[in-house]
Amino acid sequence: MIYPIVKYGNPVLERPAQPITAFDKDLHRLVADMFESMYAAHGVGLAAPQIGISKRVAVIDVTFKEDPEAKVVLVNPEIIHKEGKATQNEGCLSIPEFREPVSRPKQVTVRAQDLNGEWFERTGEDLLARAFVHETDHLNGRLYIYHLSALKRDLIKRKIKKLVKAGEW
């Protein structure tokens, strides 16, 4: 099932999500739905709060369907190592139309559980590293615009307010 993407302004996006404790059929279904919803929205990463579900699970596919092996499921992830620095334009399905340069670590190691509850560690570089931190941030109630200068963030917030008023958000 394809869920609509929750947009900035909904408090679920700025609230820490709850840990996953049951690695059951419902979780498998949720993850399948999240991949489907992410692809439908043309994204390369999606965290459960972005479909209104405050749980610590995220899906990533930086190849966008090109390589089935590239699909990553992160359950209860935490970033355990960061290295280097890279600045690239970053966007978020929950803040559509906006993209801003954001400085992120170039290399990131994440520790997470898989669909069966097994812990694993995975190191990613560049876009994958960016996805690891962006999605883990989501599960902690943090959006990428909080990594921008206050000035830039306020500008985006003002533009969004206008869009909300116009009924276009």
Which residues are at the interface with Zn ion (CB under 5 A)?
92
Taking the complex as a whole, the smallest distance from the CB of residue 118 to Zn ion amounts, in Å, to 26
- Residues 63-78 as b or e (16 or more Cβ within 10 Å = b): eeeeeeeeebbbbbbe
Output the six-digit token pair for 113: 């559980």
Catalytic residue among 36, 100, 118, 135: 135
Taking the complex as a whole, the smallest distance from the CB of residue 138 to Zn ion amounts, in Å, to 6
Q: Is 78 assigned a catalytic role?
A: no
User: How many CB atoms are located within 10 Å of the residue 108 CB?
Assistant: 24
Taking the complex as a whole, the smallest distance from the CB of residue 116 to Zn ion amounts, in Å, to 26
Which residue number, 60 or 92, has a Cβ lying nearer to Zn ion?
92
Output the six-digit token pair for 88: 């690239």
Which residue number, 2 or 24, has a Cβ lying nearer to Zn ion?
2
Which residue number, 96 or 117, has a Cβ lying nearer to Zn ion?
96
Could you give the residue numbers annotated as active site?
135
